Structure 1
Amino acid sequence: MKAIKWEFAAVAGYYTAINAPKLLKDPQWPSFQSEGWFGRSTNNVGVDKLAHAYSAYVISELLYGRLKRNTNDAPGIEITAAALASGVMLWTEAFDSIEPTSGWSWEDVTFNTMGAGFSLLRNSVPGLDEKLDFRLMIEPNDDIYTISGKEHFQQQRYFLALKPAGFEAFDNSPLRYLELHLGYHGDDFLLEDRAAGIVPKRHIFVGLGINLRELLFKDSKSTVGKAAGEVLDYFQLPYTAVHTHLTD
């Protein structure tokens, strides 16, 4: 932890800052609330659960990258990164527990753990990070991205990306520029949709995407190019993938 004390302090400080206002909005004694999983009756048909998993995953990956650099890839750093990421997300959940309209959710904690756990797995199995990513793609709307309310959850697509570029068999094949996607997103679950009697939709999807890192930044020598390539392991630019629904 000493090797990444400032990085960890920055992450913990950020989550403290965005949650601190809850202390001023009629806080209650900590309570529990069952939010459900992916049912149509849940607030966000489960998209928020994947958002929790993704946040924990990205935090763990960020801390792992810094630990790898600062400790010269010491053994066990993937465990440290996942544990610290889980701790940050538990800290965030503690703030939710004092909100009058919320509470400590074990469903959230479960998906926080799963996100950090996937990072642990990805960084423990040799070569897995070159073959499999957990990504977010945002579908732009008229506001590009709506921060307030729940509409931003409706814009989010979370998926696993299997990358042929990570397999030696595809080193000289054009297929290395493509990926296979499997993911989930929801539609028609906003309050106005429900009030209008529209049934919320839960979509499991599959599709093909463009491996932009392999296409644009594989051999980049610049700091900016390398950073851009790293970001593309976690974020899919809109309109660079074609998805089809398996469920409606």
Structure 2
Amino acid sequence: MKKPIALFLISLCLQADTFTSTLNSTSKRLNDTLLLSEDPATGFLVDTGLVMAGITAWGATQWDWGSKTFHFHSEGWFDRSSKTGGSDKTGHFYMTYLLSRVMASRMQDRGLSLEESSLYGSLSALTAMTFMEIGDGTSPYGFSKEDFIADSVSALVAYLIRTHPKIDEYIDIRFEYLPLNDSSGRSDLTTDYSNMRHLVAFKAMGFDALKQTPLSLLELQVGYYSRGYRSYDTVEESQHLYVGIGISLADLARRSEINVLQNIFEFYQPGHTYVETDLWSRP
């Protein structure tokens, strides 16, 4: 009786290994196909151009680009009276960081060194986000110097973290979207701040001594979010700075050797995977 059970368990393990190997090889082939060009200079221009084209389409359909003459507008930072309670600033920081990392990875796949690819990735992201801000300058929003500063700082942070792999093991910058608050009047999910959080995760898995222990699954999260600042929101205005203890899904993915999941959870935080308490809040 024990022998068939053992054989069954071995079979399951082999199937799991085969599944993981197939998934990783498939994602690698897809990534190579989407690289479009192996030449770094051409790839840089193509990647940046495609992102800018996507931003243009979204800006024209969602943000009323071209409806105003170009102008500047001061939005403030995290003031209670600011337009989104500061969530658009953390949103700009996160988006530039994500673009920097994705673009840098693509440039490294084209043969550039860690430092070179990180530099080009940050330059590509900052170029695209600055282009977006210029487009906003022709809309009711206006060109925001605060957004531009957030983008610039984020591009630099992305470069510094990626070029220091040891620091990269300790720190993730993530985004959470959990639509619990009714905002049915929204047409633009990218600005649905009442259902978003942006956070920094400090991971125990960065410590070599903890990598193969259960403690590596723990991480300290520090994040910010605001609620109720959009015209369609049905909740009261509030701002929150919080700290949480979470489970490192990136480490779980690393242990399972599923590369695509590890990449996703480095930048995305699913809800209900941590416990939290406010460090500061303001109604």
TM-score (ref. length: structure 2): 0.77
Q: 1:145 to 1:184 in 2, by over 3 A?
A: farther
Query: CA, structure 1 residues 142+159, in 2 after alignment: closer, same or farther (shift >3 Å)?
Result: closer
Q: Which whole-Å CA distance do the structure 2 matches of 1:135 and 1:158 have between them?
A: 6
Take 1:118 and 1:75, find their aligned partners in 2: how far apart are those partners?
13
Equivalent position to 2:146, from 82, 85, 107 = 107
CA RMSD of aligned residues (A): 2.6
CA distance in 2, matches of 1:145, 1:74: 43
SS of the equivalent of 2:165 reads coil
| 1:6 counterpart (43, 46, 49) | 46
Superposed counterparts of 1:18-33, under 5 Å = 18-21=58-61, 27-33=67-73
Aligned counterpart, 1:247: 280
Partner of 2:87: 47
- Which residue of the partner structure matches residue 235 of structure 1? 268
Paired residue for 2:259, among 222, 226, 243?
A: 226
Alignment of 1:102-181 (within 5 A): 102-141=141-180, 147-148=186-187, 152-181=192-221
Determine the structure 2 residue equivalent to 1:203: 240
Give the number of equivalent residue pairs. Answer: 240
Give TM-score scaled by structure 1 length.
Answer: 0.87
1:247 Cα deviation after fit: 1.1
Distance 2:165 2:87 in 1: 30
| Offset from partner CA, 1:146-203 (integer Å, 9 cap, x none) | 8536872011111100111111121232110111001111123344779x9x5x3211
1:228 partner letter: L
1:246–1:145 CA distance, 2 compared to 1 (3 A):
farther
User: 2: distance between equivalents of 1:128 and 1:186?
Assistant: 28
Structure 1 match to 2:226: 186
- Give the aligned residue type for 2:172: D
Larger radius of gyration: 2
- Whether contact under 8 Å (1:3, 1:71) holds in the other structure is no
Q: 2:60 corresponds to which letter in structure 1?
A: A
Letter in 1 for 2:101: E
For residue 24 of structure 1, report the CA deviation from its aligned partner. Answer: 6.9
Q: 1:78-93 counterparts in 2 under 5 A? A: 78-93=118-133
Report the AA paired with residue 208 of structure 1.
Answer: I
Structure 2: distance between partners of 1:175 and 1:85 = 35
Q: Which structure has the highest helix share of the two?
A: 2
Q: What stretches of structure 2 of length at least 5 have no aligned partner?
A: 1-40
State the secondary structure of the residue aligned to 2:125.
helix
Q: Matched residues, percent identical?
A: 27
Q: Is the 8 A contact 2:114 2:163 kept in 1?
A: no
Q: Structure 1, residues 205-242: CA drift from partner, whole Å, max 9, x if none?
A: 0011111121134342xxxx311210110001111111
Distance 1:172 1:47 in 2: 36
Matched residue, 1:58: 98
Secondary structure of the 1:103 match is: coil
Distance in structure 1 (CA, Å) of the matches to 2:274 and 2:216: 15
CA distance in 2: counterparts of 1:26 and 1:7, whole angstroms: 24
Deviations 1:83-131 (A, max 9, x none): 11111001001111011x2111000101111221221111122312211
